[in-house]
Amino acid sequence: MCRKEEPMEKNIVEKILAEHLVDGNLAPGGEIGIRIDQTLTQDATGTMAYLQFEAMNVPRVRTELSVSYIDHNTIQIGFENADDHRYLMSVAQKFGIVLSRAGNGICHQVHLERFGRPGKTLIGSDSHTPTCGALGMIAVGAGGLDVAQAMAGEPFYLACPSVVKINLEGRLRPWVSAKDVILKVLEIFSTKGNVGTVFEYGGEGAAALSVPERATIANMGAECGVTTSVFPSDEMTRRFLRLQDREAHFVPLSADADASYARVVTIDLSRLEPLAAKPHSPDNIAAVRSLTGISVQQVCLGSCTNSSYKDLVTVAGILKGRVAHPDVSFILAPGSRQVLDNLARDGYLADLIASGARLMENACGFCIGNSQSPQSGAVSLRTSNRNFLGRSGTLDADIYLVSPETAAAAVITGRFTDPRDLGMDYPNVRMPERLVIDDRLILRPTEATREVEIYRGPNIGAPPVNTPLPDTLAGPATIKVGDKITTDHIIPAGARMKYRSNIPRYAEFVFENVDAAFARRALANKEAGRHNIIVAGLSYGQGSSREHAAICPMYLGVRAVIAKSLERIHAANLINFGILPLTFVDEKDYDALDAGDDLEIAGLRTAVAESEILTVANRTKGSSFAVRLSLSARQKEMILAGGALNVRRQE
């Protein structure tokens, strides 16, 4: 490893990466491999991750800590998810993984509370893993296969990020909170164009934010598409860890005085006002005041973004003595059992229930659209982090992302209301001196549990494996989509998520909400011996880390995506499963291409090994165009072999 390029004065990101670097140089853009201290999985991505881990024949995880959470598929209509949970519990015991049982809470909230540690590295098979950046760790979302490899003790590979400093000045005014800060960040940076970047927060405004507030901000950096977000580890961090009975895990961490950054952006917190992300993208920002009066049919509080004790006590304070407007269905899903338990003990839960809250499980629930889909054409205000079209389960609903304060105001009035207009004092929440901590839903493996037999229900199939890259790729542009296609568009979650462990069944829903005939068309092409090619605009694969957005298309015979640009986790997942992530050299070629055009890339194996630019022949139009394939040597090997599992097998 060459450390020549490492600066003397380091920012926080450089410090943690330098400590964990095992391959490559710390120069932005190049591929680096880092040692991973902790991993997390959740049940919707976890079964695939552990099936892949099993295929690696490693007797016990090789990380300091690996945690398996059951928090996404907890509705359990049909036997599938209950069986999957049993599988996850048995795998955890056998391979030395800590398991957080259903009912204990959402992975990111629980990991922040119970496991995250300043200075450590964490990867998780969920895109909001960066939530733990609030504790001063490098926490990155990844595909399940990457997490499986980290559990097997292998480095995690990523493009060495460039670091943008977000300098927070001033203090938040009453009624303005952490959600408004990250919505401002989304307004500035948008959801595209931030691949390969990390946001490092600092300044006096950051120092005054509590860890749960920092967590809301770090969590939704995922919506900008950054690799992760990180805060210093300081007295606020110590205070949070003390409250969690974990002060021993505190280590201070800050940037050196002369640390350098690719860019510095300053936000004056005292000038912020309540904001909302309008349908259907988290970067479609407006001032809440400009939306005043729009009638609201549903308000959902919770998700991994805004369901800390402080968030919910603030809402309880606003709603105390009032009841939900008759037009509003008021949903409440606390982020963890710890939050719910303490709300109950301190009396706030009673205030929330009295105000008409429909209490849901401590789980993802409404956020992933597997419950509480709003009525047709509804306006739903949510404190969660994504409002992509159709994600709520109701295609024509309008979902707005707002702070807990703005959500509470709408519960009372039945309309979009700037909470400053409620005419009441802001309920300033003082955190208690002690929280009740109860880890009895966390199961720890022992030596004895090594002997456990793994439970496999009928829903679980072996993860499909691709074939080596052919020398000629020939087939239609089976679909042409526009900009900002999210993984929710590619493979919906919600009610379909129960098939996560059954790829042939789940693959039937690829592009369900975009072009319902896609899966049948693609399968027919595959059966006719042709390849399928997806053509896309900017920022293809935004959103979740679900590797199913690569595995299911692979199963349908998709061999290449040609896009104007691709998002980080999705591009890595495509490579892991042997699908070519290509980008147009000249974006005008996107316009010239039509869905159904017959495309061909010849001499592919040599071209992949030797060049970055490939030529695509458009047989329908009688023309050709150039595409870029930017891969490291390691990634080339995977693409040629037809995916990471094949490389492992060859080894």
- Listed ranges 123-131, 260-268, 415-423, 609-617: which one lies at the site for ligand MIC (CB under 6 A): 123-131
Within 13 A of 72's CA, how many CA atoms are on the CB side? Answer: 26
> Is position 44 an interface residue for ligand MIC (rule: CB under 6 A)?
yes
- Listed ranges 27-35, 126-134, 373-381, 598-606: which one lies at the site for ligand MIC (CB under 6 A): 126-134
> Is position 545 an interface residue for ligand MIC (rule: CB under 6 A)?
yes
Q: CB–CB of 14/6 below 8 Å?
A: yes
In sequence order, the 6+-apart residues with CB closer than 8 A to the CB of 306 are 178, 179, 216, 383, 384, 403, 404
- State phi, psi for 189 to the nearest 5 degrees: -100, -20
Is the backbone peptide bond immediately before 548 cis, with ω within 30 degrees of 0? no
State the nearest-atom distance from the C-beta of 387 to ligand SF4, in Å: 11
Binding residue (CB under 6 A) for ligand MIC from 41, 532, 544, 576: 544
Q: Which of 49, 54, 7 is nearest to 576 (CA)?
A: 49
State the nearest-atom distance from the C-beta of 294 to ligand SF4, in Å: 24
Q: Which does 618 bind (CB under 5 to 8 A by kind): ligand SF4, ligand MIC, none?
A: none
Q: Identify which of residues 100 and 303 has a Cβ nearer to ligand SF4 in the complex.
A: 303
> Is position 20 an interface residue for ligand MIC (rule: CB under 6 A)?
no
Count residues near ligand MIC (CB under 6 A). Answer: 13
Q: Which does 106 bind (CB under 5 to 8 A by kind): ligand MIC, ligand SF4, none?
A: ligand SF4
Distance CA 483, CA 433 (A): 48
In sequence order, the 6+-apart residues with CB closer than 8 A to the CB of 63 are 36, 37, 38, 39, 150, 151, 153
CA 523 to chain centroid: 29
Count CB atoms within 10 A of the CB of residue 41: 31
Q: Identify which of residues 277 and 304 has a Cβ nearer to ligand SF4 in the complex.
A: 304
Binding residue (CB under 6 A) for ligand MIC from 41, 81, 104, 127: 127
Q: Which of 518, 568, 516, 574 is nearest to 547 (CA)?
A: 574
Q: Which does 244 bind (CB under 5 to 8 A by kind): ligand MIC, ligand SF4, none?
A: none
Count CB atoms within 10 A of the CB of residue 247: 13
Q: Identify which of residues 93 and 501 has a Cβ nearer to ligand SF4 in the complex.
A: 501
Q: Identify which of residues 41 and 565 has a Cβ nearer to ligand MIC in the complex.
A: 41
Q: Which of residues 451-510 bind ligand MIC (CB under 6 A)?
A: 493
Tell me which amino acid residue 433 is. Answer: E
Q: Which does 303 bind (CB under 5 to 8 A by kind): ligand SF4, ligand MIC, none?
A: ligand SF4
Q: Identify which of residues 176 and 215 has a Cβ nearer to ligand SF4 in the complex.
A: 215
Tell me which amino acid residue 464 is. Answer: P
Q: Identify which of residues 107 and 313 has a Cβ nearer to ligand SF4 in the complex.
A: 107
Q: Identify which of residues 304 and 641 has a Cβ nearer to ligand MIC in the complex.
A: 304
> Is position 41 an interface residue for ligand MIC (rule: CB under 6 A)?
no
Cα 230-489-462 angle, rounded to 5 deg: 85
Q: Which of residues 358-387 bind ligand MIC (CB under 6 A)?
A: 368
Task: Name the residues that contact ligand SF4, by CB under 6 A.
Answer: 72, 106, 126, 128, 303-304, 364, 367-368, 384-385
State the nearest-atom distance from the C-beta of 468 to ligand SF4, in Å: 34
Distance CA 94, CA 218 (A): 33
Count CB atoms within 10 A of the CB of residue 529: 9
Q: Which does 384 bind (CB under 5 to 8 A by kind): ligand MIC, ligand SF4, none?
A: ligand SF4
Distance CA 571, CA 549 (A): 10
Q: Identify which of residues 249 and 489 has a Cβ nearer to ligand MIC in the complex.
A: 489
Q: Identify which of residues 141 and 161 has a Cβ nearer to ligand MIC in the complex.
A: 141
Bridge-based pairing state of the strands 473-480 and 532-536: parallel
Q: CB–CB of 333/319 below 8 Å?
A: no
> Is position 45 an interface residue for ligand MIC (rule: CB under 6 A)?
yes
Q: Which does 98 bind (CB under 5 to 8 A by kind): ligand MIC, ligand SF4, none?
A: none
Handedness of CA 273, 278, 284, 290 (dihedral sign): negative
Q: CB–CB of 131/112 below 8 Å?
A: yes
Distance CA 586, CA 562 (A): 12
Q: Which does 545 bind (CB under 5 to 8 A by kind): ligand SF4, ligand MIC, none?
A: ligand MIC
Binding residue (CB under 6 A) for ligand MIC from 20, 85, 114, 128: 128
In sequence order, the 6+-apart residues with CB closer than 8 A to the CB of 520 are none
Residues lying near ligand MIC in the complex (CB under 6 A) are found at 44-45, 72, 126-128, 141, 368, 493, 543-546
